[in-house]
Amino acid sequence: MSLLEVTDLSLHFALRGGLLRRQVAKCRAVDGVSFTLQPGETLGLVGESGCGKTTLGKTVVRLLEPTAGRIIFDGCDISHASASQLRPLRREMQMVFQDPAESLNPRHTVGDLIEEPFVVQGLGSGAQRREWAHELLGRVGLSADAYQRFPFEFSGGQRQRIGIARAIALKPKLLICDEPVSALDVSVQSQVLNLLLELQREMGMSFLFIAHGLNVVKHMSDRVAVMYLGRIVEMAGAEELYRHPRHAYTKALLDAIPEADPALRRPRRLLQGDVPSPINPPPGCAFGARMKHPLYPQSLEMDLSLREVSPGHWVQPCPCCT
Amino acid sequence: MSQSPSSTDLLALRDLRAGFDTEEGWRLAVDGISLALQPGRSLGLVGESGCGKSVTALSIMRLLPQPHGHVVGGSIAFEGQDLATLPQAELASLRGGAMSMIFQEPMTALHPVRSIGDQLLEALRLHDRQGSAQAHEARVLEMLQRVGIAGGRDRLRQYPHQLSGGMRQRVMIAMALLNRPRLLIADEPTTALDVTVQAQILELIADLQREMGMGVLLITHDLGVVAQYCDEVAVMYAGRIVERASVQQLFAKPRHAYTRALLASRPRLEGKPKTLLPAIAGQVPSLRDWVSGCRFAPRSGLAHEPAWTQQPLAVVEIEPGHWVEHCPACLS
Ligand SMILES: Nc1ncnc2c1ncn2[C@@H]1O[C@H](COP(=O)(O)OP(=O)(O)OP(=O)(O)O)[C@@H](O)[C@H]1O
Ligand SMILES: Nc1ncnc2c1ncn2[C@@H]1O[C@H](COP(=O)(O)OP(=O)(O)OP(=O)(O)O)[C@@H](O)[C@H]1O
Ligand SMILES: [Mg+2]
Ligand SMILES: [Mg+2]
């Protein structure tokens, strides 16, 4: 059985304006996304900045309520579950936030922050929690003296690791990792990724792994999904996707990976056209519209749901991009 | 490094030292940094998380968190004037004008309950009192488009929390570039951006460098960005620069053991998936455990004589333009 089954999920933000705060527009941040996640599996999620990855992650663990669609977690339909129905499940699904400042209360010490999940779930005595917190600090590569300090006393990458320690404290079944290592140098990054791999091996944790570092995503993921403007446009096994990308946006992404070697320097390849906005998305295939592809108009008449082009390899079937 | 400052330097740091008053006493975070940047050039600053990169950047802007953060030694020269002694009023007119900064965490730099339009327009107004409101709005919209934020006026009305992580980062980049600074300090400017948008931003910055000779100090963990974009690189470890060279020299012939270990940890596309990645064993020394000599000794796996860790080390120019901290064990 899948640990997570997401079907046709949408989340539209209402944008309000004027004195009466009436809805003046809406932002289709996530617009009809489906995928599944098995126990012990990692699904990588990549895509253009602003395409809806964070919103999707937050909706899946129900920090946001979906506008439409269904989320089945561990056999329960949590699409519209209430806060009290969700409380016991919080232990099983956690999120590492992209912006650590968003999740770390600046008035609490690091020790308090890491022990908070245990306190909320009523686990352990004071002494036990303290011991667990110290163990977690060590695992994310922070020294024990971090315990009584405050988040502002840390560098960006150190703060990110505090967020990771908090999220893995309860050993959840599902961890949404939103850019978990983007603030870390490559060596500390390796330490944290190794920690995630070990946790997965020991306990069969599943990850939705959101990141812009395509090398890292390939290393961590069993399968990878590529998002563009609120929709998944391609999804396949990691190896397959990187070797045989089918969608034009996936190809553009892989093509733009900056090679970490100045001897292989080359002109930057820039995408043409203006980035489309989810506030007024173009109809049909958004990437085709952006590239002003001659076949784009054909996508207007089509059902753009993913099609399986080879076993396990799914692509949006628009003629402009595939 | 012990390069002598020259009159053409846009920015020159000499022996910069900065740190924090904490409950457990004084903590030095940046311990004697010297570097120079010429107009139109870009210098990458890389190094382990917590080694003092952001503190260096904030010291230059004189924006260390108050009341605990202080610059306690050395000099910071911007176009020849010493920023360390410049009165706050003059500093304020430079900041966001002739020199500007992209902060590592956008949410700490953007005001949470003011619309981004307001914030961008104000940044412009502060340094350009002549322009009309209309002209200002047009410039803001143009800059947003150049950083790849579509949605025009609708976006101006939005608040930071309504934007994605990468869009906030780009709003901050737009804000830093609006007044066409001569010095840009960019602290992890593209961490929240996918590689296509990242390329667009780097191109925009490179354009401004070509057009007006803007100099860039680029702090980043992304060795791909350094390799593709920077002219020179400085590598920091535990509050000091241990190596500095042109980007070609540094990648082709890293001389310090830390630089070599860092380059060896680059994640590769060809690696076997889901296997453990190489990492430097151990942890960065905590600020209070800093020795005067080689701080990388305990993690280097190389035998160090006591003198090499206990006494300050010289920084030597080992090849023209290639400077290294001279620890006999770590140097190769
Ligand atoms: N307000 C503060 N009070 C006390 N210590 C601080 C404060 N801010 C930073 N530090 C310490 O100073 C050191 C250098 O921090 P800095 O932010 O410069 O690191 P960095 O190199 O930018 O790291 P990263 O790559 O993780 O952003 C760190 O050890 C950090 O814990
Ligand atoms: N609270 C909100 N109110 C209104 N719009 C929002 C809100 N949060 C996000 N959005 C919008 O939803 C869209 C998707 O944002 P999201 O943060 O999910 O993107 P992302 O893929 O995570 O991008 P990044 O890679 O830059 O982090 C954006 O257009 C953003 O402006
Ligand atoms: Mg995001
Ligand atoms: Mg930093």
Residue to test with chain A: of B53, B105, B195, B253, most A Cβ within 10 A: B195
A 111-170 near B (Cβ less than 8 A): 141-143, 145, 149, 152-158, 161
Residue closest by Cα to atom 19 of ligand 1: B50
The per-residue pLDDT for B6 is 67
Q: What is the CATH number of the domain that holds A28?
A: 3.40.50.300
Tell me, yes or no, whether B83 and B198 share the same domain.
yes
Smallest Cα–Cα separation from A179: which of A205, A214, A137, A222?
A: A214
- Please, which pLDDT band fits residue A239 given cuts at 50, 70 and 90? very high
Domain membership of residue B262 (yes or no) is yes
Contacts of B202 in chain A (CB under 8 A): 268
| Mean pLDDT computed over B185-194 | 95
| Mean pLDDT computed over A267-273 | 85
> What is the spatial distance between Cα B191 and Cα B205, in angstroms, rounded to a whole number?
16
Tell me, yes or no, whether B190 and B44 share the same domain.
yes
| Mean pLDDT computed over B46-51 | 93
In a 10 Å sphere around its CB, with 0-12 CB exposed, 13-18 middle and 19+ buried, how is residue B109 labelled? buried
Could you say which of B192, B273, B280 has the minimum Cβ distance to residue A182? B192
pLDDT for residue A280 is more than 70:
yes
Domain membership of residue B126 (yes or no) is yes
Q: What share of chain A is helix, strand, coil (3-state, %, to 5)?
A: 35, 25, 40
DSSP-assigned beta bridge partners for residue A15? A25
CA distances (Å), origin B192, targets A35, A108, A240, B107:
24, 26, 25, 13
The per-residue pLDDT for A94 is 95
Domain membership of residue A122 (yes or no) is no
Tell me, yes or no, whether B143 and B264 share the same domain.
no
> What is the spatial distance between Cα B73 and Cα A286, in angstroms, rounded to a whole number?
54
Pocket of ligand 2 (CB under 6 A): A 13, 27, 29, 47, 49-55, 98, 278; B 161-167, 192
Cα dihedral A230→A234→A236→A241 (10° resolution): -120
Domain membership of residue B80 (yes or no) is yes
Q: Does the C-beta of B29 come closer than 6 Å to ligand 1?
A: yes
DSSP-assigned beta bridge partners for residue B82? B77
List all residues 6 or more positions away from A21 whose beta carbon is below 8 Å from its beta carbon: none
Smallest Cα–Cα separation from B103: which of B188, B165, B168?
A: B188
Q: Does the C-beta of B259 come closer than 6 Å to ligand 1?
A: no
Smallest Cα–Cα separation from B48: which of B205, B209, B279?
A: B279
Q: What is the β-pairing status of strands B25-37 and B11-22?
A: antiparallel
- Cβ pair B10, B37 in contact under 8 A: yes
Domain membership of residue A114 (yes or no) is no
Domain membership of residue B199 (yes or no) is yes
Tell me, yes or no, whether B224 and B313 share the same domain.
yes
CA distances (Å), origin B326, targets A236, B228, B315, B317:
49, 28, 6, 9
- Per the prediction, chain A carries an average pLDDT of 93
Tell me, yes or no, whether B270 and B220 share the same domain.
yes
| Mean pLDDT computed over B294-314 | 94
Q: Count residue pairs from A and B with Cβ separation < 8 A.
A: 224
> What is the spatial distance between Cα A25 and Cα A120, in angstroms, rounded to a whole number?
38
Residue A240 contacts B, CB cutoff 8 Å: no
- Cβ pair B250, B40 in contact under 8 A: no
Contacts of B155 in chain A (CB under 8 A): 277, 279
**Domain interval for residue A11:** 4-92+170-315
Q: Which two tokens stand for residue B5?
A: 């400052």
In a 10 Å sphere around its CB, with 0-12 CB exposed, 13-18 middle and 19+ buried, how is residue A134 labelled? middle
- Please, which pLDDT band fits residue A155 given cuts at 50, 70 and 90? confident
Contacts by A137-146, CB closer than 8 A, 24 or more apart: A137/A110, A137/A165, A139/A165, A139/A168, A139/A195, A140/A164, A140/A165, A140/A191, A140/A192, A140/A195, A141/A188, A141/A191, A141/A192, A141/B283, A142/A110, A142/B283, A143/B283, A143/B286, A145/B286, A146/A110
Domain membership of residue B78 (yes or no) is yes
Domain count, chain A: 1
- Please, which pLDDT band fits residue B5 given cuts at 50, 70 and 90? low
Domain membership of residue A121 (yes or no) is no
Tell me, yes or no, whether B47 and B189 share the same domain.
yes
Smallest Cα–Cα separation from B56: which of B39, B40, B37?
A: B37
Tokens 């990850």 sit at which residue?
Answer: A207
CA distances (Å), origin B20, targets A133, A186, B68, B105:
25, 26, 5, 20
Domain membership of residue B104 (yes or no) is no
Q: What share of chain B is helix, strand, coil (3-state, %, to 5)?
A: 35, 25, 40
Tell me, yes or no, whether B136 and B245 share the same domain.
no
**Domain interval for residue B127:** 110-179
The per-residue pLDDT for B2 is 43
Smallest Cα–Cα separation from A256: which of B203, B197, B251, B205?
A: B197
Q: Which of B147, B179, B211 is the last residue of a domain?
A: B179
> What is the spatial distance between Cα A270 and Cα B200, in angstroms, rounded to a whole number?
6
Please name the helix (run of DSSP H) or strand (run of DSSP E) that holds residue B108, with its range, or none. Answer: helix B106-109
Q: Which of B129, B151, B179 is the last residue of a domain?
A: B179
- Cβ pair A322, A291 in contact under 8 A: no
CA distances (Å), origin A213, targets A119, B198, B282:
34, 11, 24
pLDDT for residue B304 is more than 50:
yes
Residue type, A88: P
The per-residue pLDDT for B4 is 55
Tell me, yes or no, whether B174 and B196 share the same domain.
no
Which ligand is nearest to the Cα of residue B53, counting in written order?
1
The per-residue pLDDT for B21 is 94
Could you say which of B196, B228, B252 has the minimum Cβ distance to residue A271? B196
Tell me, yes or no, whether B129 and B273 share the same domain.
no
Say yes or no for a CB contact (<8 Å) between B162 and A276: no
Considering only A137-146, B195-204, B251-260, B291-300, which range has the smallest mean pLDDT?
A137-146
For a mutational test of ligand 1's pocket, the pick from B28, B55, B235, i.e. the residue with the most ligand atoms closer than 8 A to its C-beta, is B55
Smallest Cα–Cα separation from A46: which of A175, A238, A192?
A: A238
Percent with pLDDT over 70 in chain B: 98
**Residue of chain A with shortest Cα separation from B109:** A101
Domain membership of residue A215 (yes or no) is yes
pLDDT for residue A77 is more than 60:
yes
Q: Does the C-beta of B45 come closer than 6 Å to ligand 1?
A: no
Q: What is the β-pairing status of strands B232-237 and B240-246?
A: antiparallel
Domain membership of residue A130 (yes or no) is no
Q: What is the CATH number of the domain that holds B192?
A: 3.40.50.300
DSSP string for residues in A75-138: TEE-TT--HHHHHHHHTTEEEE-SSHHHHS-TTS-HHHHHHHHHHHTT-S-HHHHHHHHHHHHH
Say yes or no for a CB contact (<8 Å) between B247 and A262: yes
Domain membership of residue B332 (yes or no) is no
Tell me, yes or no, whether B198 and B159 share the same domain.
no
- Cβ pair B245, B230 in contact under 8 A: no
| Mean pLDDT computed over A105-120 | 93
Model pTM?
Answer: 0.94
- Please, which pLDDT band fits residue B1 given cuts at 50, 70 and 90? very low
Residue closest by Cα to atom 8 of ligand 2: B162
Domain count, chain B: 2
Q: Which of B157, B179, B201 is the last residue of a domain?
A: B179
Tell me, yes or no, whether B237 and B273 share the same domain.
yes
Tell me, yes or no, whether B83 and B190 share the same domain.
yes
Considering only A10-24, A139-153, B50-64, B195-209, which range has the smallest mean pLDDT?
A10-24
> What is the spatial distance between Cα A169 and Cα B278, in angstroms, rounded to a whole number?
25
